[in-house]
Amino acid sequence: MGHTLCAIVGVCITKLFALSSNYDGIEWVAGAVATGVASSVMLMTNTIHPPGGATALLAATEPVIRDMGWWFIPLVLLATVLMLGVALLVNNIQRRYPAYWWTAADVGRKQKPDIEHADAGAKVQKEQQLTHTESMDCIMIGLDDVVLPPGFGLGPEQEGVLEILRDQLREWSESRRRHGGGGGDGLAKPVKAASRSGSESEGTAWDGREPP
């Protein structure tokens, strides 16, 4: 594809510059423009093939090829198909070639260590949690931090209570990890929450296993 696209670009640029009566004086300009445009086309179509630039250059500067005109394009296409056919025949005798006909992934680049993927996944999950919290009227207590809704202020005593809950959550998480995740029946348990007036109201507390 790189060769064929470059041949098309080279012939088109040559035909355009050939409209000038002084083509011999601007032949080098035609070659430079053809090579530059061909490189851009290969880059945009993900068909980068360095020799394709020479194909476009020859179409603009080589008299024999220039005289061929549009016939140069099917000649290049036939040549590339024959080369690809030979490559497939020879290389598939003892191995699989090509491994991919087309893929958007960079298969030649080494994969990053799993720990980096894990850190990236945790970061994305945390950002999603923050975004979700900002859209809700709730307080999120995690093992590392406490997330409050925007504009929600706390006093020193209230912050201390949240820190105590966070530390208790850490201890509970470590205990579950040491004992293989056991403990609790996974259901919401009723608790007594004191209101501002001093009376007690019944609420629910989540033990972290199943959604209440």
Q: What is the pLDDT of residues 29-59, one digit of tens each?
A: 999 999 999 999 999 998 888 889 999 999 9
165-176 burial, b at 16+ Cβ within 10 Å, e below that, comes to eeeeeeeeeeee
Q: Report pLDDT for 109.
A: 55
Cβ-based neighbours of 172, under 8 Å, separated by 6 or more? 208
Nearest-angstrom CA–CA distance, 110 and 120: 17
Nearest-angstrom CA–CA distance, 32 and 60: 9
DSSP code string of 93-144: TTS-S-S-SS-SS-TTSPPPPHHHHHHHHHHHHHHHHHHHHHTSS--EE-SS
Average pLDDT of the chain? 76
Q: Report pLDDT for 120.
A: 63
Of the listed ranges 44-48, 87-91, 152-156, 164-168, the least confidently predicted one is: 152-156
Q: Report pLDDT for 25.
A: 87
Cβ-based neighbours of 1, under 8 Å, separated by 6 or more? 45, 47, 49
Q: Report pLDDT for 58.
A: 92
Nearest-angstrom CA–CA distance, 120 and 157: 35
Which pLDDT band, with edges at 50, 70 and 90, does 79 fall under?
Answer: very high
Which pLDDT band, with edges at 50, 70 and 90, does 164 fall under?
Answer: confident
| Angle made by CA atoms 206, 208, 211, in degrees to the nearest 5 | 70
Q: Report pLDDT for 4.
A: 93
Q: Report pLDDT for 206.
A: 45
- Are residues 8 and 48 in contact, defined by beta-carbon separation less than 8 angstroms? no
